[in-house]
Structure 1
Amino acid sequence: MTAILRFAPSPTGRLHIGNLRTALFNWLFAARENGTFVLRFDDTDRERSRREYADLIERDLAWIGIRPHRTARQSERIALYDAAAEKLKSAGLLYPCYETPDELDRKRKRLAARGLPPVYGREALKLSKGERAELEAEGRRPHWRFLLPNFRTEPFSPQRTDLAFDDLIRGETVIDLASLSDPVLIRADGSYLYTLPSVVDDAEMGVTHVIRGDDHVTNTAVQAAIFEALGARVPRFGHHNLLTTVGGEGLSKRSGALALETLRGDGYEPMAVASLAVLVGMSGAIEPMADLEALAARLDFSAISHSASKFDPAELDRLNREIVHQMPYEAVRDRLAAMGVSEREGDAFWQAVRANCDKVPEAKAWAKIVFGEIRVPAPEDEAEREFRAAALRLLPEGEPGPETFKAWTGAIKAETGAKGKALFLPLRRAITGLEHGPELGPLLPLIGRERLVERLKAG
């Protein structure tokens, strides 16, 4: 049986690192099983869903390397949900309720005051046809609840009904359906909540595995009951732990700093982001993976912690730095070209500066130092002024080559007696305008004799 998995984000905001974790678990599992990955937008919330968010989610996933085999939008599949709702209504499993949010809140508070769980008591099931008509005449419109199969003959006397499933990540999991309220599937305005469309789509698309956050564990019990009520096969579910900030706060679409759009704009490499999103909270070292195929090989559901994991931006910086320091020129050619670095000099330039770049965009500053006009600081004292004059006089003739720096510094040392920091620091200040940076030797051929002379004369 071909594995079919899906990622079903709501296009109501930007994708953050926690969302990506779920998307990657599904994508990597599908890839490893030679299966199919579906991107399905849960856009039935007409007020909050935006097409621009959906487009951004697709761009974010493509940046990581996730390219769906199929894309669907729930807003275009309403007829399927209508048919399923009618089937459940005909079977007496979807019933109308007329309580307002305030009334429901008061009921929950009364139950809590009595030390009882806040489970809906199915009062609406007791309404006669005439009573429902009276409520609707008052202007009330019903929301619709699914009748959970947690009783034998009398729905007002629920009894413990264990629904067990073998969770792909957590192992054997048991949920008592009697501990849950009948879920609302349709709002009073006629729009669908997440639950029913998700079940209908999973069944119609033949989804075999659903991997999602462990905040959905109880939803799984509800959805399994709906699958069975519709006569559909129940997928295999897996629930992974959630990510929090370093401070322990849950991630949300308001977590702007951890939004993929922000991380991309800040110059992070997609495999640094993907590696940390998957490997955090999993046993073994958190290390940068070369590509998604290598990351899929590392994926081990049995090694995922059952408690929340903290997403540390410092770890992301470390992974990104390790990736950048090993990146070949071919991987950055186009980005360097956009910075004005020619292909003729690009490879040598990248090899010279990459160890001083935590992110590829930082190479732009070095490109300006190497190929552009810079402001060289004035000598700090007369000794440094004399040092620059000697360095200029001793600069070997002709364009610098691989051996120029060694010969040049040897001559300066012999004449001035400067060595170590006293030799290299004033030379670096004169050549780059900075007191730190890449090794000077490989930079000289890129800077060229003309710019070297101009900089040594400055000040």
Structure 2
Amino acid sequence: MKIKTRFAPSPTGDLHVGGARTALYSWLFSRHLGGEFILRIEDTDLERSTQKAIDAIMDGMNWLGIDWDEGPYFQTKRFDRYNAVIDEMLTAGTAYKCYCSKERLEALREEQMARGEKARYDGHCLHEQCNHADNEPHVVRFLNPQEGSVIFDDKIRGPIEISNQELDDLIIRRTDGAPTYNFCVVVDDWDMEITHVIRGEDHINNTPRQINILKALGAPIPEYAHVSMILGDDGQKLSKRNGAASVMQYRDAGYLPEALLNYLVRLGWSHGDQEIFSVDDMKQLFTLDAVSKSASAFNTEKLQWLNHHYINHLPPEYVAVHLSWHIHEQGFNTQNGPQLVEIVQLLGERCKTLKEMAESCRYFYEEFDEFDADAAKKHLRPVAKEALDLARAKLSAISDWSVENVHHAIESTAAELDVGMGKVGMPLRVAVTGCGQSPGVDATVHAVGKSRSLARIDRALAFISERESQQ
């Protein structure tokens, strides 16, 4: 049997981490077994579905690298197919027209709830043989079995049984002629030959209804797996406040797709004690057997740890491509200065996100307006003038501008003045970068470049002289 899975989001908003994890699990399951994965846009909610949301879903999947073999399919383009199946069901007697008014249905609901019963349709239009005009407003209901139970073996949660008496005759076509979500899903899974439906646990209640419709159509029943919810940092249901940002917001915040994928796969799945998984690892190792029934807790610190790992372990050339997007967003030009690969190597250990790296590297390319006040107060003092003067002279004399030669110039300055390296390195760092923190001062001075470093030392010396004159 050819394995075929699907990701079927409703385009009513961005692709958030919960949906992304569902897509990832479904994709990995098919890839692990050499199957196919399709993308289906379930846009039957015409009022809430938007093209912007469709674009956001596709952008998120593309950024994560979750590719699809078929699609995207759109339910709104398949209404003729759905209605043809409904008409066949009306003829076969597995569906019927319902003419009940909203007032009758509301009164029925209130009566049932007053008796402590579950609100459900009573089959009035199935049993009452009334004459109605063809153009009289009506919905179409599925004739749900009233005997027995629906039993399915959830691939994550184990056997689940729902009595058919708990299910009513759900509407499969509205008064306006539009087919409903639960029905469209069934026909799609049938037509698209889906073998495994992997989705969130909020769909468990839909599954018995969909299985009954599939049985009525004589269609094969897929295997079902319902993934548990994700809780936020605070242990509450995931929301925008506690971690439920959209996938693209994580990109904007400076995360690499590999880090987010690695983090999402571990939100409910494990393989021993292993924490780091490449995409190839995931495809090779992922099985539904290892997915937990329990809810998973989002942990931003863990995601940052993974991101820091990938910044430092992926090829710097690749990381630099993602960094360039963030630098563009910061709005500065990197033509005059070191290659971005060098920035990744210099700042990788210090930065947890690429956004932080982009914010930290501006001084390599652009002049800063002023020195950091605290750093200048501490390190650009009259006592630093001699060290900066001598370091400038030695740096100016370098003909082969290399990290080794820059290091030697700084080291020999400290030796000649008989002071510790910090007495030279810290004033030099503040002079060249404008702040008190940077990678190694020799590598930083080298990356900033000879002429720019010398000009900034001159500026620092002028700053010290002005400070002296004001004392």
Residues 197 and 233 of structure 1: CA distance in aligned 2, closer, same or farther (over 3 Å):
same
Query: Which of residues 262, 266, 275 is equivalent to 1:287?
Result: 275
Paired residues for 1:241-260 under 5 Å: 241-251=228-238, 258-260=245-247
- More off after superposition, 250-259 vs 141-150: 250-259
- In structure 1, the partner of 2:469 is none
Paired residues for 1:287-436 under 5 Å: 287-291=275-279, 293-335=280-322, 339=327, 340-341=333-334, 345-375=339-369, 377=371, 378=376, 380-395=380-395, 397-398=397-398, 399-419=400-420, 421-436=422-437
Aligned-residue offset at 1:279: 1.1
Aligned-residue offset at 1:422: 4.4
- In structure 2, the partner of 1:18 is 18
Is 1:144 matched with 2:140?
Answer: yes
Output the CA distance in 1 between the equivalents of 2:106 and 2:452: 75
Paired residues for 1:432-443 under 5 Å: 432-443=433-444
Output the CA distance in 1 between the equivalents of 2:54 and 2:312: 34
Output the CA distance in 2 between the equivalents of 1:282 and 1:101: 46
Aligned-residue offset at 1:252: 7.0
- More off after superposition, 196-205 vs 347-356: 347-356
Number of paired residues? Answer: 444
- In structure 2, the partner of 1:278 is 265
Contact 1:376 1:430 in 2 (8 A): no
Contact 2:316 2:344 in 1 (8 A): yes
Q: What percent identity do the matched residue pairs reach?
A: 32
- More off after superposition, 95-104 vs 423-432: 95-104
- More off after superposition, 207-216 vs 106-115: 106-115
SS of alignment partner, residue 10 of structure 2: coil
- In structure 2, the partner of 1:122 is 123
Output the CA distance in 1 between the equivalents of 2:402 and 2:432: 16
- In structure 2, the partner of 1:155 is none
For the aligned residue pairs, the C-alpha RMSD in angstroms reads 2.8
TM-score, normalised with respect to structure 1: 0.87
Output the CA distance in 1 between the equivalents of 2:39 and 2:167: 30
Aligned-residue offset at 1:348: 3.3
SS of alignment partner, residue 420 of structure 2: coil
Contact 1:97 1:124 in 2 (8 A): yes
Paired residues for 1:23-102 under 5 Å: 23-71=23-71, 72-99=73-100
Output the CA distance in 1 between the equivalents of 2:287 and 2:349: 32
Output the CA distance in 2 between the equivalents of 1:394 and 1:28: 58
Structure 1 residues without counterparts, runs of 5 or longer? 152-160
Aligned-residue offset at 1:288: 4.3
Output the CA distance in 2 between the equivalents of 1:436 and 1:102: 71
Output the CA distance in 2 between the equivalents of 1:188 and 1:432: 69
Output the CA distance in 2 between the equivalents of 1:404 and 1:254: 50
- In structure 2, the partner of 1:200 is 187
Output the CA distance in 2 between the equivalents of 1:51 and 1:337: 28
Aligned-residue offset at 1:133: 5.3
Contact 1:199 1:227 in 2 (8 A): yes
Contact 2:139 2:173 in 1 (8 A): yes
Show CA shifts across 1:42-99 (max 9, x none): 1222222223322332222111112211111111111211121112212222223344
SS of alignment partner, residue 129 of structure 1: coil
Contact 2:406 2:446 in 1 (8 A): no
- More off after superposition, 101-110 vs 298-307: 101-110
SS of alignment partner, residue 110 of structure 1: helix
| Corresponding letter in the other structure for 2:193 | G
Aligned-residue offset at 1:277: 1.9
Output the CA distance in 1 between the equivalents of 2:100 and 2:422: 79
| Corresponding letter in the other structure for 1:351 | Q
